[in-house]
Amino acid sequence: MKAADNTYFVTGTDTDAGKTLVTEALLVAARQQKLTTLAIKPVAAGCEHSPDGLRNDDALKLMAQMTEPLSYEEVNPVALEPAIAPHIAAQQVSQKLILEDLIKHCQTVLEKPVQLALIEGAGGWRLPLNDSEYLSGLPQALKLSAILVVGMKLGCINHALLTVEAIVRDDVPLIGWVANGLDASMSCFDENLQTLKHQIKAPLLGVIPCLADMEDKPLAAASYLDVQPLLKAL
C-alpha cells in the first residue's frame, strides 16, 4: 500500500538531532494554514509510567500540536520504558519489534483523512528493530518521502551526508531537510551550513536557531520553516 502524498517520514542525523521539535513545528505551521494534521511516533523508548500506562514525552508533544484527535495508542503503539536503543529496550522487557506490525499500524492510522501526516522516527535512519529489520523499512514499505533533521554540531556534515547517502540508497525520496541549532556557541555555524546546502541535493526547509531559552519552542521553530514543498499535493 502506498501512503498518501501528504505523508512524510521525519528522520534525523542521530538521537537528539531535533526530530520532535521539527515535527511539532511542521504541525504548528500547517495548523496556522488551517490544515488538518496527524502524527505518529511508531516506536518510543524512555517512557514513563502514568495512570494510563507508559507514556512518552515526545509522543505527547506531537499529540498537543496535531489537529486529529487520536488516542495515545494510535500515536505511539510501541512504548518502551528503558531509555536506550529500542531493540535493546524491547529485549529487556521480552518484547519483539516487528516491522510488518508497525507498517500495518501506520496504514490504519493513515486512513484518517487529514491534509498533512507525519511519522517521526527514532534515533537515526538505520535504527535496528531486531536482528534483521530496521525502522527505515517503514518509509520504504509505505513509499514515503523523508524529511531529514540535521542537528547542527561538530561532526554534523559527516553525519548528514552519510544519512543522505543511506536514504538515497534505500530509494526513499528526500523532500527536504532542516538545520536545527543545538548549540548557540557552535563554531563556524554558517560555514557548516553552507557546506551542507552545497552537498545536500534537496530543498532546505528552514534553519532553526538554538531555542534553549524559548518558552514555546514549537511555535518559535515554526516561524523558521517553509512548509510549502510539503503541500504541493494539496
Which residues form the catalytic set? 41
CA distance 75 to 170: 25
Neighbours of 110 (CB within 10 A): 20
CA distance 86 to 91: 8
Give SS3 for 183: coil
DSSP run (H or E) holding 188? none
Kindly state the cell numbers that stand for 163.
Answer: 544519512
Kindly state the cell numbers that stand for 11.
Answer: 528522520
**Are the C-beta atoms of 61 and 20 separated by less than 8 Å?**
yes
| Long-range contacts, stretch 68-76, CB < 8 angstroms, 24+ apart | 68/36, 68/37, 68/38, 68/112, 68/114, 70/38, 70/109, 70/112, 74/40, 74/109, 75/39, 75/40, 75/41, 76/40, 76/41, 76/42, 76/44
